[in-house]
């Protein structure tokens, strides 16, 4: 077993760290306050290869491996999880779905634009009535001649108001999860409306939206994969998405560790730096162990993908552990900072707010446990 990174992987991580330290870290609190990152950073991130990392060179990407992708997501999570969401949803959930399930025409049309971030994508699965129970979603796609007509509502859609294309999961028959089909819907289609959700606890710099589809007409060439294959496309896409969330959480834990160590060295109480107190070291030790454990689970998942081996359960384990660790670590980091951690002078309050959604989206912790338990026992809770 060799856990060392290649020179290319180390170089990309250093490049990403340097860029984000200069271009994101100084602005993240303002973006958080404004409830929007400065979108001018998006093309600059694309120039560095963030959006094209796992898209092959023939489609305008970088053709990198998933360990590098995990490192990139970690650096983005350390700097600002709002940026990570923009990248991993657009090029990850949407781009990789197209790469795996798209026709050659769909790949040629969308992948170069997603890799260059001249177009952004959003992943429209969740509905007001169906979050964990994705297999029973109710947005409808009805065949009309050569077209499909989509009607329904989606919610909590990252990039929703910024996206140029929405990967929409819609019901084409009443056959449960087998009656769902995927479509690539241009967001300027008549009948498509995105409304931003404001006032989120965290991830405030990223656009999260409700989508309304009223008689949205797309040609059959906008269908992604076969009729009825949409649920499997969504689930397999989320497997890789969960690696991105897990890696981003590693970045949060790492950021919490660095911030806590720095603060504990500088802050004095009782005439000594608080870093010298064992109970403060106890908090920092817990954050440090969480960083290592979460990172190893994420890297194991990335390595399985790079080797072409099954990785779904590893992705669920990484996502479960890392997201819970991010919440725990951010809480510990605020504790190290005391009252100073409760305001935005230090990054830990934002880490805590951003971390909280990680145990919810792309499959709650309970869904991850259900999937892990199912893999271990071979028994589905639904049969
Ligand atoms: N990759 C490929 N195919 C998959 C798959 C995956 N990861 N997971 C399931 N499938 C396939 C199954 O093989 C099955 O195929 P058949 O119909 O041919 O047998 C089909 O999809 C249905 O799978 P399953 O029976 O597991 O579906 P369930 O209804 O039992 O799934 C859960 C229930 C809860 C596991 C599922 O709905 C789920 O993961 N929900 C969470 C959704 C989510 O993460 N939402 C967040 C949205 S992004 S913010």
Give the Å distance between the CA of 136 and the centre of ligand 1: 11
The pick from 130, 135, 200, 233 for probing ligand 1's pocket by mutation, whose C-beta has the most ligand atoms within 8 angstroms, reads 135
Q: Identify the helix (H) or strand (E) that includes residue 211.
A: strand 208-219
Instruction: State the DSSP string of 256-299.
Output: HHHHHHHHHHH-EETTEEGGGSHHHHHHHHHHHHHHHHHHHHHH
Q: Which residue has the tokens 């958080």?
A: 32
Nearest atom within ligand 1 for CA of residue 231: 21
Around ligand 1, the residues with Cβ closer than 6 Å are 125-126, 131-132, 134-135, 177-178, 231-232, 235-236, 238-239, 312, 361-363, 367, 371, 380, 382
Per-residue pLDDT of the chain (383 residues; tens, 9 = 90+): 889 999 999 999 999 999 999 999 999 999 999 999 999 999 999 999 999 998 999 999 999 999 999 999 999 999 999 999 999 999 999 999 999 999 999 999 999 999 999 999 999 999 999 999 999 999 999 999 999 999 999 999 999 999 999 999 999 999 999 999 999 999 999 999 999 999 999 999 999 999 999 999 999 999 999 999 999 999 999 999 999 999 999 999 999 999 999 999 999 999 999 999 999 999 999 999 999 999 999 999 999 999 999 999 999 999 999 999 999 999 999 999 999 999 999 999 999 999 999 999 999 999 999 999 999 999 987 76
Q: Where are the domains of the chain?
A: 7-120, 122-227, 232-377
Task: Decide if 148 contacts 183 (C-beta within 8 A).
Answer: yes
The pick from 180, 235, 305, 362 for probing ligand 1's pocket by mutation, whose C-beta has the most ligand atoms within 8 angstroms, reads 235
Alpha-carbon torsion angle 378, 228, 93, 90, nearest 10 = -170
> So what's the pLDDT on residue 380?
85
Give the Å distance between the CA of 235 and the centre of ligand 1: 5
**Ligand 1, atom 46: closest residue by C-alpha:** 362
Beta-carbon-side half-sphere exposure of residue 304 (alpha carbons within 13 Å)? 16
The CATH architecture one would assign to domain 7-120 is Orthogonal Bundle (1.10)
Given this structure, which CATH class describes domain 122-227? mainly beta
Nearest atom within ligand 1 for CA of residue 312: 7
Q: Which residue has the tokens 């499997």?
A: 232
**Ligand 1, atom 43: closest residue by C-alpha:** 363
Q: Write the CA distances from 47 to 51, 141, 228, integer angstroms.
A: 9, 37, 37
> So what's the pLDDT on residue 381?
74
Q: Which residue has the tokens 């725990």?
A: 328
**Ligand 1, atom 48: closest residue by C-alpha:** 362
Structure tokens belonging to residue 69: 């992708």
- CB contact set of 84 (below 8 Å; sequence gap of 6+): 73, 76, 77, 244, 248, 251
Task: Decide if 114 contacts 121 (C-beta within 8 A).
Answer: yes
The CATH architecture one would assign to domain 232-377 is Up-down Bundle (1.20)
Give the Å distance between the CA of 161 and the centre of ligand 1: 27
Alpha-carbon torsion angle 344, 332, 361, 187, nearest 10 = 20
Give the Å distance between the CA of 99 and the centre of ligand 1: 20
Give the Å distance between the CA of 134 and the centre of ligand 1: 8
Q: Which residue has the tokens 């890392």?
A: 322
Of the residues 35, 75, 324, 362, which is catalytic?
A: 362
SS3 186: strand
Catalytic site residue 258?
A: no
Instruction: State the DSSP string of 136-179.
Output: G---EEEEETTEEEEEEEEEEEETTTT-SEEEEEEESSSSGGGG
């Amino acid at each position: 077993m060799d856990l060392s990174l290649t020179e290319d992987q180390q170089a990309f991580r250093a490049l990403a760290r340097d860029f984000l330290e200069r271009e994101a870290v100084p602005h993240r609190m303002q973006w958080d306050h404004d409830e929007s990152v400065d979108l001018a950073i998006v093309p600059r991130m694309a120039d560095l290869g963030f959006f094209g990392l796992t898209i092959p060179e023939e489609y305008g990407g970088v053709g990198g491996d998933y360990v590098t992708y995990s490192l990139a997501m970690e650096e983005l999570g350390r700097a600002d999880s709002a940026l990570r969401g923009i990248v991993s949803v657009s090029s990850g959930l949407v781009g990789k779905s197209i790469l795996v399930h798209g026709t050659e025409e769909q790949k040629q049309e969308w992948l170069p634009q997603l890799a260059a971030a001249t177009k952004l994508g959003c992943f429209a699965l969740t509905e007001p009535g169906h979050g964990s129970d994705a297999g029973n979603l109710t947005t409808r796609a009805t065949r009309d001649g050569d077209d499909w007509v989509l009607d329904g509502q989606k919610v909590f859609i990252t990039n929703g108001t910024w996206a140029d294309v929405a990967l929409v999961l819609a019901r084409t028959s009443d056959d449960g999860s087998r009656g769902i089909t995927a479509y690539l819907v241009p967001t300027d289609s008549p009948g498509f409306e995105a409304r931003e959700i404001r006032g989120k606890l965290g991830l405030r710099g990223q656009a999260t939206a409700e989508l309304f589809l009223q008689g949205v007409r797309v040609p059959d060439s906008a269908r992604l994969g076969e009729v009825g294959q949409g649920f499997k496309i969504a689930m397999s896409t989320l497997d890789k998405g969960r690696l991105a969330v897990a890696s981003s959480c590693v970045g949060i834990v790492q950021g919490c560790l660095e911030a806590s160590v720095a603060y504990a060295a500088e802050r004095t109480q009782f005439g000594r730096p608080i870093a010298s107190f064992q109970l403060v070291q106890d908090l920092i030790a817990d954050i440090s162990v969480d960083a290592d454990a979460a990172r190893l689970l994420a890297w194991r998942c990335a390595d399985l993908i790079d080797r072409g081996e099954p990785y779904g359960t590893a992705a669920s384990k990484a996502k479960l552990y890392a997201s819970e660790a991010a919440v725990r670590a951010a809480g510990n980091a605020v504790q190290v900072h005391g009252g100073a951690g409760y305001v935005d002078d230090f990054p830990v309050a934002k880490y805590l707010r951003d971390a909280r959604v990680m145990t919810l989206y792309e499959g709650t912790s309970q869904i991850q446990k259900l999937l892990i338990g199912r893999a271990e026992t071979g028994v589905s809770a639904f049969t």
